[in-house]
Amino acid sequence: MSEPFLLLALLVALGWPLGRYLAAVMRAEPMRGDRFFGWLERPLYAALGTRPETGMGWRAYAAAFLASNLLLGTVVWIIFMTQAWLPLNPDAIPNMRWDLALHTMVSFLTNTNQQHYSGQAQLSYLAQMTGVVGLQVVTPVMGLALAAATLRGLCGGRQAPGRPPGGVPADAHADVGNYWADVIRATLRFVLPLCLAWSALLTWQGVPATLAGGPLATPIDAAATLKEQKIPLGPVAPLVAIKQLGSNGGGWYGPNSAVPLENPTPLSDFLEVLAIGLIPVSIVFMIGPFTGRRRFGAMVFGTMLLMSVISTGLALWSEGHSASAADLALMEGKEVRLGTDASALWAALTTQVNNGSVNAMLDSTAPLTGLVAMVNMLINAIWGGVGCGLQQFIVYLLLAVFLAGLMTGRTPELFGRKIEGPEVKLLAVLILLQPLVILGFTAAALAIPGLAGTSSPGFHGLSQVFYEYVSAFANNGSGFEGLGDGTVWWNLSCTVALIAGRYPALVIPLAIAARLAAKRRAPEGPGTLAIETPTFALTLIGIVIILTLLQFMPVLVLGPVADHLALGSLIAR
């Protein structure tokens, strides 16, 4: 049981320096390696026709983000649908159907990696390396860029050199940074070096890294039906590295890190769990040095840590000790190679961080573990995905500031800027979108016969469907599995959920931050609400629970809770 504590200690020990480094990268501070990276970056800036020091207003920033997504998405969609005719396809994998290709493309473009296909059987090496790995590297960085831009906005916009801090004139277009520079710098200086390190570590532990086709093997239990088995290989290690680090989660193999080839040893398991949390935790540590508000960074860290510890503890308890966990009759599908603690730890972290990779099938975990996973994804801000976790946290923060501000008798303000009707309206869009999309699709899939394709009837089937949409909307990508989700309905409805869960959640906080930046800033005095206090942090957690859980309580009761109670009474009998 020491693994969770070791994990936490390492996350903090590594996240702290990485966060400081990341802040320096995002602030474009002079650093060692500038000459080397400048040599790589300058041609890219030239190709994009941008100057990294030129600032953008929030509209230009968001437009650049959306345009880059549209372009990448189109290219990848075409690759998926034409991979049979393209090079690097030693296993002769056919073209993907349009709806599956669309869902797969959107799923990777939104940093979700929800998979309605099996990678080893349905994607060529080229498709894996461009469409999958390429997007896995660049989409988390896009989230990070949006979060950095939002933080700049919340602090009144980027300061031009020489201008005194705090002396930004109120202008409608606060400088939130340069999108291209943010993406390129963070990719080259932060994400790729980390990936390199992790691929090396994983290759050392035995994860395959090759461009050759897979060998044929004769199984020891060879039968007439299966004389030989083709072992699918490929450049797995780099993909696993980025899928873990970049809150991606889409594995080379369909069963993800439950396959020994993706996760051969206990050490590789630990390295992969560590990688899930590493960048999201680093981003939280980045806040302090990046914004110059260390106490604010500490508040975010403390709040997320508290929620994370509670959620992880509940998952470990549920998987190890709850009424519906420990019974031998319920061992179907349990992961026994690494044990249930490792399954629970991974399940908790992968949903907190919106990673979505798995090392055991959630379908077979105790119902309450599934409940914890769903709640993590509904909150989606316990660390959260790279960048998007922080964006979602800022949404909760603004709402908490609004209510808490009222309760302290002042017009609510964040960092001295007032939150008023227009900002609340923008927040309202985000609050409404989540139940509308998740409950709407869940109801449709369950009520219209033949749509759901669940493998289990009753509560568990309900959980499977609900989980799929929660995971899509949260851009998590993990699956409850056991769902026949390769249909046109699933592909298209999930595509909508993926898009609705990604773009508004990233852009609206930026828009709000830019609106706030344009407002007159009041100095923080004794009457202003200090948000860097435990009292406020607990208020924020209360808002998170009220806002998220209350809306989904009936479904959670009908799904995992009923499942748990039913299993419990079954065991008792």
Partner 1 sequence: MTDISTRAALPAGHGLLPASLDAFRKLAPRHAVRNPVMAVVWLGTVVTAGATLAGHASAGFGAAVTLILFITVLFANFAEAVAEARGRGQAASLRRARQDLVARRLDAAGRETTIAAAALRPGDRVVVDEGQLVPADGEIIEGLATLNEAAVTGESAPVLREAGTDRSGVIGGTRVLSDRIVVRVTAEPGHSFLDRMIALVEGSSRQKTPNEIALGIVLAVMTLTFLFVVISLPFIGGFVGVQINVVLLVALLVCLIPTTIGGLLPAIGIAGMNRALKANVLAKSGKAVEVAGDVDVLLLDKTGTITHGDRQATAFHALAGVDDAVLRQAALLASLADPTPEGKSIVRLAQQDGAAATAPAAAHFVAFTAQTRMSGVDLPDGRVIRKGALDAIARHVQALQGRVPAELQARVDDVARKGATPLVVSDGRHVLGVVELADVIKHGLRERFARLREMGVRTVMITGDNPLTAANIAADTGVDDYIAEARPEDKLARIRAEQAGGRLVAMVGDGTNDAPALAQADVGLAMNAGTQAAKEAGNMVDLDSDPAKLLAVVEIGKQQLITRGALTTFSLANDVSKYFAILPALFAAAIPSLAALDVMRLSSPASAVLSALIFNALVIPALIPLALRGVRFRPTSATRLLRNNMLVYGLGGVLLPFAGIKLIDMALAAAFTF
Site map 501..520 versus partner 1, x via CB under 8 A: -------------------x
Nearest-approach distance from CB 313 to partner 1, in angstroms: 21
330 near partner 1, rule: CB under 8 A: no
Stretch that binds partner 1, among 12-20, 126-134, 301-309, 411-419 (CB under 8 A): 411-419
403 near partner 1, rule: CB under 8 A: yes
Nearest-approach distance from CB 322 to partner 1, in angstroms: 13
Question: How far is Cα of residue 7 from the mean position of the Cα atoms in its chain?
Answer: 19
Identity of the residue numbered 363: D
Sign of CA dihedral 450, 454, 455, 456: negative
- Following DSSP, what letter does each residue of 1-24 receive, concatenated? --HHHHHHHHHHHHHHHHHHHHHH
- Can you tell me which residue has the tokens 């400081």? 20
Rounded Cα distance between 351 and 223, Å, is 39
Nearest-approach distance from CB 568 to partner 1, in angstroms: 8
End-to-end, the C-alpha distance of the chain in Å comes to: 31
Among 33, 94, 292, 542, binds partner 1 (CB under 8 A): 542
432 near partner 1, rule: CB under 8 A: yes
- Phi, psi (5° rounding) for residue 79? -60, -45
Q: How many residues bind to partner 1 according to rule CB under 8 A?
A: 68
295 near partner 1, rule: CB under 8 A: no
Nearest-approach distance from CB 562 to partner 1, in angstroms: 6
306 near partner 1, rule: CB under 8 A: no
**Residues shown for the chain:** 573
484 near partner 1, rule: CB under 8 A: no
- Following DSSP, what letter does each residue of 438-457 receive, concatenated? HHHHHHHHHHSTTTS-BSS-
Structure-token pair, residue 73? 């998405």
Q: How far is CA 569 from CA 272, 318, 329, 428, in A?
A: 36, 16, 13, 41
Nearer to partner 1, 270 or 469 (CB): 469
Among 74, 210, 229, 569, binds partner 1 (CB under 8 A): 569
Nearest-approach distance from CB 561 to partner 1, in angstroms: 7
Nearer to partner 1, 6 or 538 (CB): 538
Stretch that binds partner 1, among 99-107, 141-149, 228-236, 427-435 (CB under 8 A): 427-435
558 near partner 1, rule: CB under 8 A: yes
Rounded Cα distance between 30 and 261, Å, is 41
550 near partner 1, rule: CB under 8 A: yes
- Phi, psi (5° rounding) for residue 227? -85, -40
451 near partner 1, rule: CB under 8 A: no
Nearest-approach distance from CB 305 to partner 1, in angstroms: 20
Q: What is the 3-state secondary structure (H, E, C) of 38-98?
A: HHHHHHHHHHHCCCCCCCCCHHHHHHHHHHHHHHHHHHHHHHHHHHHHCCCCCCCCCCCCH
Rounded Cα distance between 124 and 90, Å, is 8
133 strand-pairing partners: none
Nearer to partner 1, 118 or 322 (CB): 322
- Phi, psi (5° rounding) for residue 249? 100, -10
526 near partner 1, rule: CB under 8 A: yes
Nearest-approach distance from CB 440 to partner 1, in angstroms: 6
Nearest-approach distance from CB 422 to partner 1, in angstroms: 9
530 near partner 1, rule: CB under 8 A: yes
10 near partner 1, rule: CB under 8 A: no
Nearer to partner 1, 168 or 287 (CB): 168
Rounded Cα distance between 382 and 349, Å, is 9
For binding to partner 1 (CB under 8 A), which residues are involved? 399, 402-412, 416, 419-421, 423-425, 428, 431-432, 435-436, 439-440, 442-444, 446-447, 452, 458-459, 461-462, 466, 520-523, 525-530, 533, 535-536, 538-539, 542, 546, 550-555, 557-558, 561-562, 565-566, 568-569
